[in-house]
Chains A and B, each alone.
Chain A
């Protein structure tokens, strides 16, 4: 197992280098530079522009800038924001819990509803239940996330007034950040109503962010279950006199989970990408909104650093998925 983990970690090094190169070069392909955007409407003389570019080190050849960036990364230095001058890592660590909280809630909802829906659709294959579930999943999968978010806001926040429109918690509550997770911090604070408020703010963004992963997980679970239900070992399980619940829930589902876990791992990348839109719609103060703002300001260090850190998160999740494979599928472990 240790060799397996070390092997997987070794693969991460070239992947990380590739991501760093893409993150570094793509943001520089955009027209404009941070100095021009900082000056805004004001006219800046070419001399002043050159001077500021020199100060920021952006006048040096690209490969030297990249090399400097890489050596910084080796010491854990992700650079500092050109706009706020704050270290990128500090901003990331401050904002990431908000994104993590939202993403975790979304993936939990997607798994908790998607897997049972997929299993049910497979077991009741061809019935109205199967067709309804898969129809809803297809609609969910096809729905543009920003449009879906706006529809929910209009209906639940605007028309019914059940949920707040944006933010993480009501302004009535204030407490120190301990874990960064609003649900946990509001509980720790002991303030009456704080937890309820945090939940009410979390519901709509979670639903919006969970929609696509939920649809994908449900469809993948259904097709994996359909394949597994026709396998000989499922017939053996039934021939042993096991209850349908045990045949499906233990013998079939365990095997069907192998492709579903891959899908869930891939959805983490989709979630982080979806978080960018969802956070923008709901003004959720996470890394998605932070990254979008940085792209508009050509804040090279933040975009590069943010991408690297997001890539690291995805790579860690993929490593966990690989380890889960071994746990669930002994043919890989041995």
Chain B
């Protein structure tokens, strides 16, 4: 039994000019201890499909799927309160902009202890001890003092560490990292990725990394899903994807890496391929 299983997920948003399909027929599976990367350009529906799985989309979104289960439990037929018992506890998520993702009006200590208060029976003292322990595990120095700090008193990298610590507070079975390094400096990106991989290995949890950075994919993932304009174009293990990509889009995506630039001009995908060619060449 897979940890998270999604079959034929579709997300439509009601807009003033009619329904807009942001995700169209996406299917995926993640097992415990597995790292899955979802890659694609901006607007390919990577984040929306994961937000849909967690039930975090606004009411204007219409989510349908043939199968949407977590640990064997059907997430679609589940009540909102039952879903809230799972998200934040068994499925946790971290986001792209760590500073904006933390509430500026509350200390980071309050924000990490809040998850423990909602999902565990720990006492006040035990929650604080656990928060200190989590801060230590994600490499935040002086954790006791840092718990009393507000997000604006910390750097972007530190805030992402706080987000990771918060996500790991209840030992989740699955962590979804939505472009966790995009807003960070290159050196900090490396540190955060290393930290995520170390914690994933230690906890044995499933990890879904949403990214548009092929370097991140190569370094972290076991399997990869490539998306384009809401549709799944290719799904493969990481080695086969990099060595012998099957779909024309994935080939174009890999050849568009900056190191393949010729004569100072960066290669692009859209000047080579039309949408019809991309969708016709999809290998699922």
Contact = CB atoms under 8 A, between A and B. Distances in A.
Interface stretch (B84-92, B134-142, B215-223, B262-270): B84-92
Contacts of B56: 235, 238-239
Given A235-B56, A241-B85, A330 B100 contact: no
Interface string B84-105: 1111110011010100111111
B101 A236 contact: yes
- The range of chain A's interface size is 20 to 34
A240 B152 contact: no
A54 to B, nearest CB: 62
Interface string A222-239: 000000000111011111
B191 interface: no
Interface in B195-235: none
Q: Which size bracket describes the interface of B in this complex?
A: 20 to 34
Contact of B84 (A235, A242, A331): A242
Nearest to A244: B80
A232 B118 contact: no
Contact of A231 (B88, B100, B107, B163): B100
A255 interface: yes
A292 B187 CA distance: 69
B88 A232 contact: no
Interface in A216-268: 231-233, 235-243, 251, 254-255
B104 A255 contact: yes
B97 A232 contact: yes
A317 interface: no
A240 B91 CA distance: 9
A334 B150 contact: yes
B152 A232 contact: no
Contacts of B194: none
Chain A interface main SS type: helix
B54 interface: yes
B88 A331 contact: no
Interface string A34-66: 000000000000000000000000000000000
B65 interface: no
A152 B74 CA distance: 57
Contacts of A331: 104, 150, 152
Given A240-B88, A241-B87, A241-B89, A330 B103 contact: no
A182 B56 CA distance: 52
A83 interface: no
Question: Which of B81, B97, B115 has the most chain A CB atoms inside 10 A of its CB?
Answer: B115
Contacts of A238: 56
B105 A330 contact: yes
B100 A233 contact: yes
A329 B119 contact: no
A240 B114 contact: yes
B87 A239 contact: yes
Enumerate the 4 nearest inter-chain pairs by beta-carbon distance, A residue then B residue, closest first: A241-B88, A240-B88, A232-B100, A233-B103
Given A330-B105, A334-B150, 17 more contacts: A231-B100, A232-B97, A232-B100, A233-B101, A236-B95, A239-B54, A239-B56, A239-B93, A241-B87, A242-B114, A242-B118, A243-B81, A243-B84, A330-B107, A330-B150, A334-B152, A334-B153
14 contacts: A233-B102, A233-B104, A236-B163, A238-B56, A239-B88, A240-B88, A240-B166, A241-B85, A241-B88, A241-B119, A242-B88, A243-B81, A255-B105, A329-B105
Interface of A: 231-233, 235-243, 251, 254-255, 328-331, 334
